[in-house]
Chain A
Amino acid sequence: AQSVTQLGSHVSVSEGALVLLRCNYSSSVPPYLFWYVQYPNQGLQLLLKYTSAATLVKGINGFEAEFKKSETSFHLTKPSAHMSDAAEYFCAVKGAAGNKLTFGGGTRVLVKP
């Protein structure tokens, strides 16, 4: 069984400030981990993924995430928030076998000017 917990359903940051979204997972097998972004009334777009290669993963739009096995975490960061980063962010985990994704509850990011 696998699960994902995203700490904080809402995060408010000022434009230009650091964005930090937290994700902790549990998985009985080495996981694949993903961050997706969803803009209003749209589907999900992949930001980045961890697939057991480098633990620090760089994604699109200046985002990156670090896989820490000891902490079972995969937190998402961006050094400087932009207004266009306002969206919903989902962390997801997939076991090595099969394709089912398990999603966290999501974190809504608000960017203040």
Chain B
Amino acid sequence: GAVVSQHPSWVICKSGTSVKIECRSLDFQATTMFWYRQFPKQSLMLMATSNEGSKATYEQGVEKDKFLINHASLTLSTLTVTSAHPEDSSFYICSAPPQREGYNEQFFGPGTRLTVL
């Protein structure tokens, strides 16, 4: 299989501060990574597609200035929630499809629980 890690696993911050979440592919390269948010007892909502070497592609309704995405290398993408507010509290999950023959699925990170006070 392929492993995707996220850091931190949980974070609590004050309203108005910024929070950075890291997503790493540990044993494969990923030119593309995906960021999702998940509210309690709901499905995953795709926020944006992170592209190595180019700008991220945001889904409709997602504020790109609010959720900054940087795909720094072939194994690392970061999501920064800027000026966080309580309504940004959620479970954020990243995923990546391995660029390998025979792999059509995405592998998911363990998620980051963000709580904004």
Interface of A toward B, CB cutoff 8 Å: 32, 34, 36, 41-46, 49, 51, 90, 94, 99-101, 103-106, 108
B93 touches A44 (CB 8 A): yes
Q: How far is the CA of A91 from the CA of B21 in the complex (A)?
A: 26
In-complex Cβ contact of A51 among B104, B106, B108, B111 (8 A): B104
> Given known contacts A100-B49, A105-B43, is B93 in contact with A34 (CB within 8 Å)?
no
* Cβ-closest chain A residue relative to B111: A43
* A100-B34, A101-B34, A105-B43 given; 12 more Cβ-contact pairs under 8 Å: A34-B105, A41-B111, A42-B110, A43-B95, A46-B105, A49-B104, A51-B104, A90-B43, A94-B104, A103-B44, A105-B42, A108-B41
* Cβ-closest chain B residue relative to A101: B106
B43 touches A99 (CB 8 A): no
The 5 closest A-B CB pairs, nearest first, are A43-B108, A44-B108, A43-B110, A99-B97, A106-B43
> Given known contacts A51-B104, A100-B34, A100-B49, is B42 in contact with A43 (CB within 8 Å)?
no
